[in-house]
Structure 1
Amino acid sequence: MKRLSVCMIVKDEEELLSRCLDSVQGIADEIIVVDTGSCDSTKDIARKYTDKVIEYDWSHDFSAARNESLRHATGQWILVLDADEYLSIDEHHEWLQFLESEPPMNYLAYTLPIINFTGEKVYDDEISASPVTRLFPNYQGIYFERPIHEQLTRGSDKKLFHKKIDLKIYHTGYQTQRVNEKDKHERNMSIFNEMMKNQQMSDYDWFTLGNQYRYAQEDQQALDCYEKAIKDTDTHSVWYPHCLVGLISLYFKQDRLLLSWKWTEERLSQFDNYAEYYTLKAIHYETLGFYPQAIENYQKAIEIAEVRAENDQEIWLVDPMYSFEMPVQQLISIYFSLQDNQKAIYWLSKLLNKNSKNPRVLLKMTDWLSHNEQSGSVIQFLNQIYDTNSKTDSSLLFKIGLALGQKELVEHYSEHTPANLTLSPAENCRLALVQLDQRSFNQYGLELLHEGKELDLHSWIQIAVGSFIWKDTRLLQKSIGISGQNTKLGELSALMLQVIQDQEPEEGEFASKYTDEWFTIAKELFVLKQYECYDQFVNKVQTTDLVNKLANYFYSVNRMQISLDYYSILLKQEALDIHSLINLGLYHSSHGYTKEAVDFLALAVQMQPKQRGLYYSLINCADPTDREKYVALFHEEFPDFGKISFVREFIGQIHV
């Protein structure tokens, strides 16, 4: 008897079907593909892998189609997959070990985690997990029911038990491009609408309909469905914690923190042996500025996940991001905000070691280190994580150094990059800037400005920076001529010409319209170590908005002397913006300068009373005679938040 039958239903899946079928080669003894009406090459691709390709007339019922695939299976075990799912070849041995050692029982099916990649890129941290029952013994008494989000059953009079196992299925079906291509939402909604019309909706169906709305970013409809699903359901249902976390997340997103906290403490607390409970608690603490409590709970979440991993237990309850990525990212953010840079860098290093191929994390780490360490130390640190003999690693590090304008990193890693590494004209232009090679800069700048080629803002920034360094306006003048319908770049080029030529803008406030662009140019001049040019440029285009942006940038990378100098100028001008006030308030609070902290935090809440995360620090640091005033302001702005248990307890202690 054959051991494993892989059963699928497909339609127009030529893009992904091969990946799925390749991933089961070596463990599947047969593959059954039920095609529900493909108009592309799906059936031809399937026939390369199996002779069991069955054409089936679609009846708007997933269970009927699934059961048709089961009817043709002859293996001892059945694994159900979709075309946008796949197995990891590296995990084949685990699948084979299970199939060889597990005795099939006609009343037992197996629930596996599907790892969903919902980001735009492979390295994105947008990963979620959901349990699905897809593996079961091939007995005629086990079949699918329900038209959508179909479920396995043995019939109404026989119980089918579910056992969790850690064999994984990987899924990319909800990445943005795939949703647009397949119109899954419209297809699924037509089935749900028919079920609601016929009053066929169970608690589970309301949950899956909520998921459908959530993927479509229709949050209120999703919330309504989750509320209906969870009202009277069995808390031991496999899908219950997923519905619960979805409900909490949507309440939180709508700023209904009293409800999101209530459900966390009253319902999610029954799963306090998982990281999700502590991460969601920490998010509430952090949102309301209770940073010590947030830090404690984020660390607790990470510890629990690590202990579960060490004990070979299921690591997450609902979603892997709650067990590591999210708590670590939030710890990094909090520690940087509080200027506890040593701890921020520690957690940033942990995140980078977990996923060294994520360029966003690597960029943030290298940017901060480059401002605070010698180049040799930065290279030594990176070489502990990356293999410079690897062309992939060395190319990544080279491009990170290039993006950050770090000449020493570019020169070091260029020695290890492949000779045939292809750079775009924009990257070559950037390389010429880093190397201060004006001739090459002009050559690649002309390529960027080639007639008929649209110029993007990033490329224009490179041209503007080089033009200012060498006081050469030829590329900028040419860029005006090809800007075409891009009015913004035309205006920017004209203004930049005036800056280089020491002319005053015709309209006094016109330059402030492009503060973001002036900030980026100034930052580029600084990281390229063109300090004289940097000072010249900032003096020429200086606005309070620009100075605030520069002050906050230097604060974020621990260049505190420069940052505080800018803050002092803004303070004298009474021109500190909300971000500057928050940074100064938290800086003074974390260093024990409570009087100064209150001065800045009070100004911040006066400027933006809805800054809910500031009141805890403000009330904590305030003189006892002033605390009542700030407590009253908090209650006025957030009447419901005072009912949250930890907020109520804090305010009660203040009154005492």
Structure 2
Amino acid sequence: MKRLSVCMIVRDEEKLLPRCLDSVTRLADEIIIVDTGSTDRTKEIATQYNAKLFDFSWSNDFAAARNESILHASGKWILVLDADEYLAEDDYDKWNEFLNKEKPVEHLAYTLPVINFTGDKEYQDEITTSPVTRLFPNFKGIYFERPIHEQLTRAQLGELYHKSIALNIYHTGYQIQRVTEKNKHERNMSIFNEMKKHDNMSDYDWFTLGNQYRYAKNEEEAIRCYELALQETNLNSAWYPHCLVGLISLYFTQKRLDLVDKYTNNQLSKFSNYADYHTIKGIQYETMGFFEQAMSCYLEAINVAEQRASMDQEIWLVEPSYSFETPVLRLVELYFQLNDNQQAIYWLSKLLQKNNKNPQVLLKLVEWLCQNDTPDSVISLLNKIYDIRDKADCNLLFKVSLVLGQVELVRYYLESIGSLDHLSSLDQMRLAVITDNKEMWLEISLSNQELDIDNQLQLWVQAAVGAIHWNNHLKLIQVVDELQNDEVPILTTIIVAMILEENLPDEQVLKSHASSLFLVAKQLFLIKDFEKFDQFINVMRSSELINQLANYFYKLNLTEMALNYYSILLSEQQLDFTSLVNLGRYHVNQHYYEDAAGFFGEAVMLEPKTKNLYYSLIRYANKERKSQYITKFSAEFPQFVDIIFVRDFINQEKKQIKGGHL
């Protein structure tokens, strides 16, 4: 008997079908493909892989089409796949071990995790998982029912049980471009509408309909469907935690934190042996400003995941990132805010060791280290994580060093890069400015196909920095003629006026363009042209620019520089919201609690809806102020007062006001 039959239903899948079939040809003894009306090369591709091909008239019923495919299967095991799914070669040993050793049981089917890539671009994928029962023994009376998001059943033969196994299926069908191409939403909604018309919706159907609305960005309808699905659902249903976490995440996005608290405490807490619960609880605490409690939750999430991994158990409940990446990233942010920089860097390094292909994490780590350690120390650390003999690793380190304007690192990795022919105009401009190579800067010509709209402002920044550094405005004007960014001509006029020391812009113009001018100032600072940096600040000075610089220096632990700027802004009463919050955090870290409360109070006056400030504000204020801020919080957020940990905190603070014991 054949070991494995892969059964598929397809229509117009010429783009993705080859990837799917390539991934199973070394595992499957036969491939059954039921085509529901393709008009492209799908059938031709199927025959190239020696698939058994059958035509089937589409009837808005996935179960019917699935059952047609398994009707033709002759293998001991059946694996059901879609064309936009595939198996990973790294998993082949696990698949072979299962298929060779597992004995078919007539009442048992197998639930596999489907790893969904749902992002907009392939290099920015968001990853989620969902359990789907796709593997089952053949010739045991098992078949599909329900017209959409079809499920396996044995009907009158008895209950079908589901066993979870760690054999992954990978899925890209809901990437935004694919949804557009396939018009899946419209097709699926027509089936759901027909089912609702006949009052034929199960709890599972409401869950899958909720997913459909969620992918379509209709959050209100997604919430309604998830709530209906959870009304009388068995906790042991494989899809239940996915529905629950999906609902909680939507409550988060809609700032309905009272409902987040309700569902987290009453239902998600039953899954506290998974990292997901602790990460979600941590996010809940952090959102309300309870940073210490949030950090404890994030650390517990990491600990729980490590324990499950050590026992070879499934590590996450729903979201892979909740077991490590998300809690670590949140810890990093909180450690930085609490001025525990060593812990922040430790966790950034751990994150990079786990996945050194994440450029944003690398960027954050190197940016901070370069301002707080020697170039040799930074290079030594990076060489422990990366192999610069690997071309991809070296190029990544070189590119990050370029973006951060770190000349010592750029020169070090440049030796291993070799040819610079692959560099874009933007990176050539960066390299010329960073290495103080005026000749190279002057010779750079722009190629229209390189001018990605997203990078045009960055290219202009490098041209502007070079123009200021070498006192040469003509090259800047030449670059501007090649760019399409609407802001660039005005910015160029400002820079040229500075270089020529004439027709300097008025204060309102400088305020309007402070964010872009900040990019120029930052780059001058990074290339260590401090004379031109000071000159630039004196000419371009606005409260908006000074606030951005102060906050930038504060973020990089350049505290003395940040405080100098904050002092200027404080004397002129021009501290913005972020500056006030940073000063509040700084004074808490220095144990100047009364001053901290003063800065937090000013920040809340500017943005009273910033809920995560009230915890610190109430905690560090004097007794008289505590009462006022509790009243203000209750007025601004009446729906959050009864969140359990918020209520407990407020009651504790009220006792302190009355002179009670804590």
With the length of structure 1 as denominator, give the TM-score of the two structures: 0.97
Distance 1:401 1:239 in 2: 44
After superposition, the Cα gap between the structure-2 partners of 1:642 and 1:439, relative to the gap in structure 1 and judged at 3 Å, is same
SS, match of residue 248 in structure 1: helix
Distance 1:39 1:457 in 2: 44
The answer to whether the 8 Å contact 1:117/1:171 transfers is: yes
Alignment of 1:311 with 2:311, yes or no, is yes
The answer to whether the 8 Å contact 1:125/1:325 transfers is: no
Name the stretch that deviates more: 186-195 or 570-579. Answer: 186-195
The answer to whether the 8 Å contact 2:425/2:450 transfers is: no
Residue in 2 aligned with 1:257?
257
Residue in 2 aligned with 1:19?
19
Distance 1:123 1:316 in 2: 23
Residue in 2 aligned with 1:467?
467
Name the stretch that deviates more: 356-365 or 421-430. Answer: 421-430
Distance 1:453 1:447 in 2: 11
**Deviation at residue 555 of structure 1 after TM alignment:** 0.9
Residue in 1 aligned with 2:321?
321
**Deviation at residue 420 of structure 1 after TM alignment:** 6.9
Distance 1:340 1:474 in 2: 46
The answer to whether the 8 Å contact 2:460/2:480 transfers is: no
Residue in 2 aligned with 1:536?
535
Residue in 1 aligned with 2:386?
386
Name the stretch that deviates more: 177-186 or 626-635. Answer: 177-186
**Deviation at residue 140 of structure 1 after TM alignment:** 5.2
Residue in 1 aligned with 2:61?
61
Distance 1:432 1:294 in 2: 44
Residue in 2 aligned with 1:73?
73
After superposition, the Cα gap between the structure-2 partners of 1:281 and 1:73, relative to the gap in structure 1 and judged at 3 Å, is same
Deviations along 1:224-270, one digit per CA (max 9) or x if unpaired, are 10111111222221111111111111122211111110110011111
The answer to whether the 8 Å contact 1:451/1:482 transfers is: no
Alignment-mate amino acid for residue 18 of structure 2 = S
The answer to whether the 8 Å contact 2:111/2:163 transfers is: yes
Alignment-mate amino acid for residue 202 of structure 2 = S
Matches within 5 A, 1:148-159: 148-156=148-156, 158-159=158-159
**Deviation at residue 157 of structure 1 after TM alignment:** 5.4
Deviations along 1:181-221, one digit per CA (max 9) or x if unpaired, are 22221121111111112221111111000001111111001
Alignment of 1:403 with 2:403, yes or no, is yes
Alignment-mate amino acid for residue 426 of structure 2 = A
Residue in 1 aligned with 2:347?
347
Distance 1:414 1:371 in 2: 21
Residue in 2 aligned with 1:566?
565
SS, match of residue 134 in structure 1: strand
Distance 1:174 1:418 in 2: 40
Residue in 1 aligned with 2:105?
105
**Deviation at residue 119 of structure 1 after TM alignment:** 2.9
Name the stretch that deviates more: 412-421 or 301-310. Answer: 412-421
Alignment-mate amino acid for residue 386 of structure 1 = Y
Distance 2:115 2:68 in 1: 26
Distance 1:99 1:451 in 2: 50
**Deviation at residue 613 of structure 1 after TM alignment:** 0.5
Residue in 2 aligned with 1:601?
600
**Deviation at residue 449 of structure 1 after TM alignment:** 7.7
Residue in 2 aligned with 1:164?
164
Alignment-mate amino acid for residue 82 of structure 2 = D
Name the stretch that deviates more: 362-371 or 415-424. Answer: 415-424
Distance 2:11 2:533 in 1: 58
The answer to whether the 8 Å contact 1:5/1:73 transfers is: yes
The answer to whether the 8 Å contact 1:432/1:441 transfers is: yes
Alignment of 1:240 with 2:240, yes or no, is yes
Alignment of 1:502 with 2:497, yes or no, is no
The answer to whether the 8 Å contact 2:553/2:561 transfers is: yes
Alignment-mate amino acid for residue 608 of structure 1 = E
Distance 2:368 2:301 in 1: 26
Residue in 2 aligned with 1:31?
31
After superposition, the Cα gap between the structure-2 partners of 1:64 and 1:540, relative to the gap in structure 1 and judged at 3 Å, is same
Alignment-mate amino acid for residue 539 of structure 1 = N
Deviations along 1:435-474, one digit per CA (max 9) or x if unpaired, are 1111111111x32589999882221111111111111111
SS, match of residue 549 in structure 2: helix
Distance 1:282 1:177 in 2: 33
Distance 1:369 1:213 in 2: 44
**Deviation at residue 476 of structure 1 after TM alignment:** 2.5
Distance 2:436 2:291 in 1: 44
SS, match of residue 416 in structure 1: helix
Name the stretch that deviates more: 564-573 or 184-193. Answer: 184-193
Residue in 2 aligned with 1:552?
551
Residue in 2 aligned with 1:94?
94
Alignment-mate amino acid for residue 655 of structure 1 = K
Alignment-mate amino acid for residue 605 of structure 2 = Q
Distance 1:487 1:363 in 2: 28
Distance 1:486 1:279 in 2: 41
**Deviation at residue 180 of structure 1 after TM alignment:** 2.1
Residue in 2 aligned with 1:290?
290
After superposition, the Cα gap between the structure-2 partners of 1:7 and 1:418, relative to the gap in structure 1 and judged at 3 Å, is farther
**Deviation at residue 418 of structure 1 after TM alignment:** 4.8
Alignment-mate amino acid for residue 266 of structure 1 = N
Alignment of 1:199 with 2:199, yes or no, is yes
Distance 2:117 2:509 in 1: 44
Distance 2:309 2:301 in 1: 12
Instruction: Report how many aligned residue pairs link the two structures.
Output: 654
Residue in 2 aligned with 1:362?
362
SS, match of residue 97 in structure 2: helix
The answer to whether the 8 Å contact 2:283/2:294 transfers is: yes
Deviations along 1:102-128, one digit per CA (max 9) or x if unpaired, are 000111000011111223455546211
The answer to whether the 8 Å contact 1:33/1:53 transfers is: yes
SS, match of residue 2 in structure 2: coil
Residue in 2 aligned with 1:266?
266
Distance 1:187 1:287 in 2: 38
Name the stretch that deviates more: 594-603 or 490-499. Answer: 490-499
**Deviation at residue 496 of structure 1 after TM alignment:** 1.9
SS, match of residue 503 in structure 1: coil
**Deviation at residue 590 of structure 1 after TM alignment:** 2.6
Distance 2:38 2:190 in 1: 19
Distance 1:378 1:173 in 2: 41
Deviations along 1:387-429, one digit per CA (max 9) or x if unpaired, are 1111111111111111111111111112222547611122112
Alignment of 1:458 with 2:458, yes or no, is yes
Alignment-mate amino acid for residue 235 of structure 1 = L
SS, match of residue 128 in structure 2: strand
Residue in 2 aligned with 1:187?
187
Distance 2:505 2:334 in 1: 43
After superposition, the Cα gap between the structure-2 partners of 1:630 and 1:10, relative to the gap in structure 1 and judged at 3 Å, is same
Residue in 2 aligned with 1:227?
227
The answer to whether the 8 Å contact 2:457/2:485 transfers is: no
Matches within 5 A, 1:569-580: 569-580=568-579
Residue in 1 aligned with 2:660?
none
Alignment of 1:629 with 2:628, yes or no, is yes
SS, match of residue 548 in structure 2: helix
RMSD: 1.8
The answer to whether the 8 Å contact 2:106/2:140 transfers is: no
Name the stretch that deviates more: 294-303 or 116-125. Answer: 116-125
**Deviation at residue 164 of structure 1 after TM alignment:** 0.6
Residue in 2 aligned with 1:524?
523
After superposition, the Cα gap between the structure-2 partners of 1:249 and 1:51, relative to the gap in structure 1 and judged at 3 Å, is closer
**Deviation at residue 131 of structure 1 after TM alignment:** 0.5
Distance 1:515 1:330 in 2: 29
